[in-house]
Amino acid sequence: MDVQKIREDYPILNTGIVYLDSASTSLTPEPVLEKMLEYYREYRANVGRGLYKLSQRATEELEEARKKIAGFINAKPEEMILVRNTTEGINTVSLGLSWEKGDNVVTTVTEHHSNYMVWLRVAQRFGVELRILWPDSRGVVPLAEVEKKVDDRTKLVSIAQVSNVLGTKLPVEEFSRIAHDHGAYMLVDGAQSVPHLQVDVRRLGCDFLAFSGHKMCGPTGSGGLFIREEVMEEVEPLLLGGGAIVDVDTASYRLEEKARRFEAGTPAVGEAIGLGAAADYLKKIGLEKIEAHERNLTLRIYEALKAIPRLRVHGPEPEWKVGITCFNIGNLNPHDVALFLDSVADVEVRSGLLCAHPLMREVLKEPQGAVRVSTYLYNTQQDVERFISAVEEIAHAFNSKEKGGTVKRG
């Protein structure tokens, strides 16, 4: 993979920054921006509404983007709902299923809030039991625990394929098998997996999978929700309105078939077209190459951080995760570490509780949160070395201060 060539697609990197926060949001390459601008410059019109040429082309381009987005995860176009982000996708499922008292939902304490809070609301609103799976120190949930929690009253199992804090990859295929053995649905939070791994919904065996475009080189306000064709009519749309119906009279309405029944109102046309271009962009480079590149960077980060005294690295070894590494230095506030990295080394990372309060507080025992470094296809070994050097400086200063020595800033 020619990383230097790839970096030419990201002019923002010419400013000299080292961007290591792609788990939060990725940078957007020029080919994606150009495709979006093509829509706004050449055929800016609403979709599915007009018979004139601009509207017809906009509709065709949107549906072509849907095919690309669906193909990216081996779904059918009619199974791909265009949403704003992973959060909207998960909420669509949580509020669209028919819940009864006595049902239960199984999830893990390692989840992003978007895949945790929604189930707390379902439990409170519908009298559903929420069952929580607890991981080991690496963030791995033993399958034996899943088999204990899932039973014939389980309505849905909802788990992130990759943790946004630890980067841990979970065996979703096995989770799906257990869920389906008990007649339950399987939902996968793919926010951190779809941009970095070759994700195949047929292989995963899931009923639902949600992901965000802004984490995979696409624009903000774009994303996908896969709903398996066979269960689509078992989910009530989150919104009703124009574009989602076939007919309405004074007493009733009839919804569109398949994905479009979930897309009431004018969609984010330019953003969806941009996400289709992002899917093309990543496929052309190759997800297997991106995964291998990130693995090499993550291995170097992991080994270097593990060698620093009084620095705690959270999560599993690199072979068990994607390009996410979280750490703490002594009792330093993680925000102070992140601010130092930005102000002194132009290295941009995330810090804090990372939208995963239960995991940080209950599992990692880090009430202030942690520092998270996350890589992507445009990061280089030089980026990583600059980050490591800056962290070593912080840790050295902290350790010297703890020992009563003199602290110098380089």
Q: Active-site positions?
A: 355
Rg over CA atoms, the chain: 22
Mode of pairing for the β-strands spanning 347-348 and 18-19: parallel
> Nearest Cα to 69, choosing from 229, 224, 266, 263?
224
Distance, in Å, from the CA atom of 228 to the CA atom of 158, rounded to the nearest integer, reads 15
**How many other C-beta atoms lie within 10 A of the C-beta of residue 408?**
9
And the tokens for 222?
């774009």
Give the sign of the dihedral formed by CA 44, CA 48, CA 54, CA 60. Answer: positive
The CA distances from residue 61 to 32, 38, 55, 65, 66, in Å, are 14, 11, 10, 6, 9
- Which alpha helices (DSSP H) does 16-170 contain, by range? 30-42, 53-72, 86-96, 117-126, 143-149
Non-local CB neighbours of 251 within 8 Å, separated by 6+ positions: none
The torsion angles phi and psi of 400, rounded to 5 degrees, stand at -65, -40
Determine the longest span between alpha carbons in the chain, in angstroms. Answer: 80
Cβ atoms within 10 Å of 284's Cβ, excluding its own? 8
